Amino acid sequence: MRNITGHTCASCGRRHEDLPLSYRTAAPAHWTDALDDDPNSELTPDLCVISGRHFFIQGNLEIPILGGDGVFAWGVWVSLSPASFARTTDLWDEPGREAEPPHFGWLSTELAGYHVSTLNLKTNVHTRPVGHKPYVEVEPTDHPLAVDQRAGITMARVQQLAELLWHGGRG
């Protein structure tokens, strides 16, 4: 019996192998290349400070995949208050940090595939054990991203997002 994986792309007509189930953004929407030389700004794979006044953390915004056991994950940036950012970094390497209550933040990533902006959606950032990115929970509103996170998405939607990201566009 043959095991055939992959799908034919609706955008380019070519065959693509397995669909990625996660996408990550390198920086918050507010980051620009000009900040690379700013001594009060820093960007790492997990944390970002802009001009010493704006603080961000990267986390996983997970969406259940309907009919499966997995999740689709967006690697997103969320702005935190100075106090929440300080607390997060103070506990960065501490075992048991996942017992910390969630921190409020504003989504700072524009995600492809949504007809309305995802910037500045209200979130709760849940700390996970050391070595795991925080879980980002979008406020339960009628925004399509919030609905997706609550209700889940199909594999057809995962394919649609993959094609959009592979071939450009916002959707």
Question: What span, in angstroms and rounded, lies between the C-alpha atoms of 47 and 24?
Answer: 14
Q: In which domain, by residue range, is 77 found?
A: 7-167
Q: Is residue 76 part of a domain?
A: yes
Residue 7 has which token pair? 């799908």
- Model-level pTM? 0.86
Domain count, the chain: 1
Has residue 97 been placed in a domain? yes
Does residue 2 lie within any of the structural domains? Answer: no
pLDDT tens digits along 118-141:
999 999 999 999 999 999 999 999
Residue 41 lies in a domain: yes
| Dist CA 27 CA 47 (whole Å) | 9
d(CA 114, CA 55): 25
pLDDT digits (tens, 9 = 90+) for 88-99: 999 999 999 999
Residue 119 maps to a domain: yes
Which residues does 165 contact at the CB level (< 8 Å), separation at least 6? 23, 112, 113
In a domain, 59, yes or no: yes
Asked if the structure places residue 58 within a domain, the reply is: yes
The answer, yes or no, to whether residue 150 has pLDDT greater than 90, is yes
- Please indicate, yes or no, if residue 1 is contained in any of the structural domains: no
Q: Which residues, in sequence order, are bridge partners of residue 38?
A: none
